[in-house]
Amino acid sequence: MTKNLTTINQFIEKSIGEWKSIRSTHTLAFQEFENSTSKIHIKHINSKNKKVTKIFKNHKLGLNLQSIAISIKWQAISDWEDDDKNEGDETILIFLPKDVNSGIVLRNKGYTESFISSSNYYVDEQNNLHIQTFYKSTVSEERISFLSTHIRSRFSTTRNLENNSVVQTSHTSEIRNLASLRD
């Protein structure tokens, strides 16, 4: 019996919405940890949106109308901040499928190092999304899993490229805001 794999389109569609995020980040080199909470909003954006076309231009690629573009906006409060200051930002991700389960992700800025980047992704047999990004000095690996329809879990690891040492790990639990589904 062959299990039906989740396609990248299905995974993204399940991710659309508003989420409350609880994250614990461990910076191993400094033996420090940070806890943060965030409100995350994930939505589709049109492939012809000026932010999307700019990312294609920055990557020196022509516009691909088969791509899947999403915006991820967040507002976060960290226990590293003394004044409980809210920090927010937005990342644009453009998924360029090679097939229904794998491909490349273009970003307007990196997760670990803040410059435009691209990543490889695939959806595995357990329907987890894996994203791997190589930067100048590090590699970031992330796994996103649906534990139920309205609960996601994200694990990420950042490694030093020079010696493959683990620099940082994090775990995030994300709970969908069900009230946002009624809007």
The residue with tokens 């299905």 is 10
Structure-block tokens of residue 83: 């004044």
Q: How far is 51 from 71, CA to CA, in rounded Å?
A: 10
- Residue 165: which pLDDT band, with cuts at 50, 70 and 90? very high
pTM above 0.85, yes or no: yes
Query: What is the pLDDT, as a whole number, of residue 77?
Result: 84
Query: What is the pLDDT, as a whole number, of residue 74?
Result: 92
Contact 119, 130 (CB under 8 A): no
Q: How far is 153 from 146, CA to CA, in rounded Å?
A: 6
Q: Which helix (H) or strand (E) holds 13?
A: helix 8-15
For 85-95, what is each residue's pLDDT tens digit? 667 889 999 99
Does position 178 have pLDDT exceeding 50, yes or no?
yes
Q: How far is 9 from 6, CA to CA, in rounded Å?
A: 8
Contacts of 30 (CB under 8 A, 6+ apart): none
Does position 24 have pLDDT exceeding 70, yes or no?
yes
For 27-61, what is each residue's pLDDT tens digit? 998 899 999 999 999 999 998 899 999 999 999 99
